[in-house]
Amino acid sequence: MGEKTYPRVLSIAGSDCSGGAGIQADIKAISACGAYAMSAVTAVVDENTVGVSGIWEVPPEFVCGQIRSCLEDIGADAIKIGMLGTPELVRAVARQLAESARGVPIVLDPVMVAQSGDRLVGDEAAAALRGELLPMARIITPNLPEASVLLGRPICRRADLREGAAELCRRFGCAAALVKGGHLAEGEDSDDLLYAADGAGGGRWVEFPGERIATRNNHGTGCTLSSAIAAQLALGHPLEEAVRRAKAYITEAIRSGAGYRIGKGHGPVDHFWAWRGGGAAAG
Q: Which domains does the chain have, with CATH numbers?
A: 8-272 (3.40.1190.20)
**Residue 114 pLDDT:** 61
**Long-range contacts, stretch 211-217, CB < 8 angstroms, 24+ apart:** 211/251, 212/182, 212/187, 212/188, 213/251, 213/254, 213/255, 213/258, 214/258, 215/254, 215/257, 215/258, 216/265, 216/266, 216/267, 217/254, 217/257, 217/258, 217/260, 217/262, 217/266, 217/267, 217/268, 217/269
**Residue 119 pLDDT:** 61
**Residue 112 pLDDT:** 77
**Residue 188 pLDDT:** 60
Can you give the three-state secondary structure of 168-197, one letter per residue? HHHHHCCCEEEEECCCCCCCCECCEEEEEE
Q: Which residues contact 31 (CB under 8 A, 6 or more apart)?
A: 37
Cα–Cα distance for residue pair 53/59, rounded to 1 Å: 20
Largest CA distance in the chain: 56
How wide is the angle at C-alpha 218 spanned by C-alphas 243 and 178, nearest 5°?
25
How wide is the angle at C-alpha 132 spanned by C-alphas 127 and 138, nearest 5°?
115
**Residue 56 pLDDT:** 94
**Residue 113 pLDDT:** 66
Question: What does pLDDT average to in each consecutive run of 10 residues of the chain (283 residues)?
Answer: 91 96 97 98 94 92 98 98 95 97 96 64 87 96 90 81 90 94 64 86 86 90 97 98 97 95 95 77 52
224-243: buried (b, 16+ CB within 10 Å) or exposed (e) per residue? bbbbbbbbbbbbebebeebb
3-state helix, strand, coil in the chain (%, to 5): 40, 20, 40
Strand 203-208 to strand 192-197: parallel, antiparallel, or no bridges (unpaired)? antiparallel
162-175: buried (b, 16+ CB within 10 Å) or exposed (e) per residue? eebbbbbbbebebb
Cα–Cα distance for residue pair 282/48, rounded to 1 Å: 28
